[in-house]
Chain A
Amino acid sequence: MGIDAEYRQLVNVRSARRAAFHAGQRAILPSLPGSAAWGLISGVAMVKGGLAVPWAITMSLLVYGASAQLAALPLIAAGAPLWVIVATGFITNLRFVIYSAALRPHFANEPFRVRAVLGFFMTDFTFTLFMRRAQAGTLPETDRDAWFAGVCSNNWLTWQTCAITGIVAASTVPTQWGLEFTGTLALAALVGPSLNVRPALVGAVFAGVVALLSHGLPFRLGLFCAAIVGIIAASVTDAFRAPPAGAPA
């Protein structure tokens, strides 16, 4: 192969990756209002919870995990022991371990740094979108890492922009409108279509009921327990469902 052909091939690879990245950026667009509202309200909550503006911005940029940040806030305000605050954040984030395990087979052959970066930027929204596309078979054939990077970059930009806006403009953002409900709705809209099979429905009901019952548990353990119980219930239901002959697993 001549230098010219090699060069042309390289350009093709690059443009294919860029196209996948842009496709990912577009794929997350419908969910961005949810991320935006959630980011904004998290930003406001951090400042109203007593954090000074520079600290709140630092936390938003470094932690990039709304639920852990919001769980930590009242503990910071109350002067709880440092290990209690970090442990609460860790347990709130334990669901990401499950997400990470679910994503692993899709990125197992990517270089270490790609997996590390994609992992850090993965959130409830981006993970759910990826898994839904994976199950519907509508992920791009190649350059999935570039596609997911596109998804995550748009989500990150939106969330951080809105969180920092909320931090800086905390006193002018109306909190009585229940804007954070947009985030809940966007998650529901992402996950709703997956409820069309019985194991998913059973899992969702179990997870929801356990989450309600376990709300008072320390360290936000309820969320993780509910997810685990739901997943077990879904798997058991799945095991009892006779698969049609020749169906892909």
Chain B
Amino acid sequence: MTEPVTGIALAVVIVGLALTTLVTRTSFLLAGSRLKLGHRIEVALRYAPVCTLSAIIVPDVLMHGGTWDLSPLNPRLIGVVAAGLWLCVSRNIVGCLAAGLLAFTLARLYL
């Protein structure tokens, strides 16, 4: 387990990974109109973006180097809170990114 994967094996891995992206992303889309999902599923899928992104964002913000960082001085937490506050005031995404990055950078440098 110490030698990195190289050569043909690496090519196989890359093609394999590309196939996982292709298969998962196109899966239900390719079923087209033949498939009917129930109303309950359709409702559940409306919440797919918010739940999946939350599952991505929360560990990005509250984990650092494989461990939890729940401190209120966590620069990423401060950045996300600043971005959230900006978003409450204005719907401008670029301003929200700038506010979040600024708060994050200041917290990272000075806290």
Chain A: residues with CB nearer than 8 A to chain B? 30-31, 33-34, 50, 55, 58-59, 62-65, 67-69, 72, 75-80, 82, 85-86, 89-90, 93-105, 107-110, 112, 115-116, 118-120, 122, 124, 127-128, 131-132, 135, 177-178, 181-182, 184-195, 199-200, 203-212, 215, 222-223, 226-227, 230-235, 238-239, 249
Contacts and interface: CB of A to CB of B under 8 A. Distances in A.
B58 A208 contact: yes
Contacts of A110: 32
Given A30-B94, A102-B45, A96 B50 contact: no
Nearest to B88: A192
Contact of A212 (B9, B43, B50, B62): B62
B81 to A, nearest CB: 10
Contacts of A78: 1-2, 4
A86 B92 CA distance: 39
Contact of A98 (B45, B57, B97): B45
A120 B22 contact: yes
Find the residue from B21, B37, B76 having the highest chain A CB count within 10 A. B21
Nearest to A114: B29
The list of the 7 closest CB pairs from A to B, nearest first, reads A230-B51, A208-B58, A119-B26, A226-B55, A234-B47, A30-B93, A86-B16
A210 to B, nearest CB: 7
Contact of A65 (B4, B17, B80): B17
Contacts of A50: 4
A58 B33 CA distance: 34
A98 B48 contact: yes
Given A78-B1, A102-B46, 20 more contacts: A59-B14, A59-B17, A62-B18, A63-B21, A65-B21, A79-B4, A85-B17, A86-B17, A86-B19, A101-B41, A103-B28, A104-B31, A131-B46, A178-B108, A184-B61, A200-B47, A207-B55, A215-B59, A231-B48, A231-B51
B53 A189 contact: no
